[in-house]
Amino acid sequence: MKHHSKTPMDHSPYGQSFTLWRDGCPTAWQDYTDHAFVEGLRSGSLPRAAFLHYLVQDYVFLVHFARAWSLGVIKADTLDEMKSCARTVDALVNHEMALHVTTCAAADIDEATLFAATEEFETLAYTRYVMDAGLHGDYLDLMAALAPCCFGYGEIGLRLAGSAEPGTPYQDWIKTYADAGYQNTMKAVGRMMDMALERRLGPDPTLSPRWPRLQHRFATATRLESAFWDMGLRAG
């Protein structure tokens, strides 16, 4: 049984820009947030081997993701944008990745092994897509590519916190993304993205000729998220 994500009519707590992007690719978004991997986390039926393989690859992904957010400091137009990107790097490196290190250590996978892990093709494709957005695009290109991971995990974490089976062994993963620390960080990131879009594109960014390109970046990153779940399932 699927536990569906928000309907396209719901306004996200992560802001207007994300809501518009999410609702601009509803099928891709549902494929990502209602994926079989996510259902396995909720029910506890996800094979442990699949979860550990995903976690190792997600650690590698987060290393590159933190670097991509660091590019935001370079691309930013304001001090507030710089601060937001710097806070997000801190949250990734010093908090979110701790889950991966702790869980993998219990399975005799140390942090040096995590850092040196060979990237799967899905990890390579996704991380380089986001890095390319930051290196060759501007601040908005980068934000559109980063948004699906940030806000998708926030949505998934909140939903699973209210629907997960009591016995699922993946409660720690769920709590990481459902807790107030992660949620408040994502709300702040959403506000920052709203202000960044308005500053550059005006009060209605959808009227800008740049909007379709930004929507495409978001939708592509969303599809890459689904492929990342697929990669995890293959190991189970």
Predicted confidence at residue 4, as pLDDT, reads 43
Predicted confidence at residue 226, as pLDDT, reads 99
Q: DSSP for the chain?
A: -------TTSPPTT-HHHHHHHHTSHHHHHHHHT-HHHHHHHHS-S-HHHHHHHHHHHHHHHHHHHHHHHHHHHH-SSHHHHHHHHHHHHHIIIIIHHHHHHHHHHTT--HHHHHTPPPPHHHHHHHHHHHHHHHHS-HHHHHHHHHHHHHHHHHHHHHHHHH--TT-TTHHHHHHHHSHHHHHHHHHHHHHHHHHHHHHH-S-GGGSTTHHHHHHHHHHHHHHHHHHHHHHHHT-
> In the chain, where are the structural domains located?
45-234
Mean pLDDT across 23-39: 98
pLDDT at 8 over 80: no
Superfamily of domain 45-234 in CATH is Heme oxygenase-like (1.20.910.10)
The model's pLDDT over 198-210, given as tens digits with 9 standing for 90+, comes to 999 999 999 999 9
Predicted structure pTM score: 0.93
Mean pLDDT of the chain: 94
